Amino acid sequence: MAASIAAGNVVVVKTGAETHSPETMKLLCELISKYMDNQVVSMVSGGFDELQDFLSMRWDVIFATGSPGLGRMVAKAGAPIWSQCILELGGKSPVYFGK
């Protein structure tokens, strides 16, 4: 996120509805909204429906961390519009799909 902001990009962070550390996520949301310009960094929380809405939008780059199922969903959403998809799946090394 820091590198993306430093490069002049806008960042939207979508958190999972069922996080393993809800207090940390709550604190992160509070701190980002307090100290960051909300036109540069935004936090969105939600589950599957919110993710589907999110992926239906046009993105230059999508970075996703999660399961192989999530990776397939992200890659499928990014392919028709040639979005770069950076996937980190199942705690393994990142997988890069480029144009």
pLDDT of the residue at 12: 84
Q: What is the pLDDT of residue 35?
A: 92
Residue 97: what pLDDT? 57
Q: State residue 92's pLDDT score.
A: 55
Strand residue runs (E) in 23-73: 41-46, 61-66
Q: Which pLDDT belongs to residue 29?
A: 83
pLDDT beneath 50: ranges in the chain: none
Domain layout of the chain by residue ranges:
1-57, 59-99
Model pLDDT, residue 58: 87
Q: What is residue 80's DSSP assignment?
A: G
Strand partners, 87: 64, 95
